Amino acid sequence: MLFEDMLVPSCPPRSSAVDSRTGNKVAIKKLYRPFQSELFAKRAYRELRLLKHMRHENVRASPAPSLAASLASSYLVMPFMGTDLGKLMKHETLSEDRIQFLVYQMLKGLKYIHAAGVIHRDLKPGNLAVNEDCELKILDFGLARQADSEMTGYVVTRWYRAPEVILNWMRYTQTDLDQLKEIMKITGTPPPEFVQKLQSAEAKNYMEGLPELEKKDFASVLTNASPQAVNLLEKMLVLDAEQRVTAAEALAHPYFESLRDTEDESKAQKYDDSFDDVDRTLEEWKRVTYKEVLSFKPPRQLGARVPKETAL
């Protein structure tokens, strides 16, 4: 069934609609010029395959990816959440209970994504959708790559770049250097063994020329956070990525003891990105993309009203 047949337009914003089969409100993402070039087509195909692969309650997978018949425009249709964490934080101060629940869900989603061998690469408040029940889903896999791929700085939203991404990106700007200094005002300057591991000679020279800064006492910086929250953040905000706590390790921290249910943590299958090394013409990318759309079987949505003709 085509996109136009499945959805009934709702009130503004234009990025939402109502699924006429279930009555559920859905969000619509229009992919920007997905078939403008072979590169754009490959990116659109990658995002669609990633969304199809991810089956986790805290990762927004598309329940009905749809293309217009001509393939001139592509839309991803997803559960409607209402807002994102960036907007939420601008409008209200979150209690620690809500912060704890939101971070817990984010880490569950990240554990699943990383277990699939994927790194999101643009994780930021604007890419964390939140609904009125404080349920969270990770959005936007357009920049995702397998974990062993090169991590370059230009693809990551500036203020959310990890320090290792900044340090291994050759084209330093004053903003990048200012951001590194702000990070090290809290974490302190790293030891020589960390500097020697850097791939960029320019980064090594820059780090060796910095004055020594001591690590701040996190409790004195995060005065409104509980001791367990401070302890967890200290483990998360470690300059050396090899020493930093992983999402899976963070979930096991006592801070989440009251929330955690290990049986609720979905197991991920490894994502196959072998197509990344394939060169195709634009028409070939259109064909394989359309094939992915046709082969998609959306997960059963809890509480959805299923028409008699499709009910089991």
Residue, of 49 and 169, whose pLDDT is higher: 49
Residue labelled with tokens 């903003």: 175
Query: pTM, whole model, 2 decimals?
Result: 0.80
Lowest-confidence range among 6-20, 44-58, 178-192, 241-255? 6-20
Work out the burial of residue 24: count CB atoms within 10 Å of its CB; fewer than 13 is exposed, 13-18 middle, 19 or more buried: middle
Q: Identify the weakest region by mean pLDDT among 27-41, 47-61, 298-312.
A: 298-312
125 to each of 15, 58, 179, 230, how far by Cα in Å? 19, 14, 18, 20
Strands 83-84 and 74-79: unpaired
Would residue 122 show up in a list of annotated catalytic residues for this protein?
A: yes
Residue 217: both structure tokens together: 């006492």
Q: Where are the domains of the chain?
A: 83-256
User: Using one digit for the tens of pLDDT, what is the confidence trace for 124-143?
Assistant: 898 899 999 999 998 876 54
Question: What number is the average pLDDT over the span 284-311?
Answer: 64
> What is the structure's pLDDT at 156?
54
Rounded distance between C-alpha atoms, residue 257 and residue 262, angstroms: 10
Strand partners, 119: 145
Q: Which CATH architecture has domain 83-256?
A: Orthogonal Bundle (1.10)
pLDDT tens sequence across 184-220: 999 999 999 998 888 888 888 888 888 899 999 999 9
- Per-residue buried b or exposed e for 179-207, using 16+ beta carbons within 10 Å of the residue's own CB: bbeebbebbebbeeebbeebeeeebeebb
Across residues 3-18, what is the average pLDDT? 46
pLDDT tens-place string over residues 44-101 = 888 788 878 888 888 875 544 444 434 556 777 777 888 999 999 999 999 999 999 9
Spot the catalytic one: 19, 122, 140, 176: 122
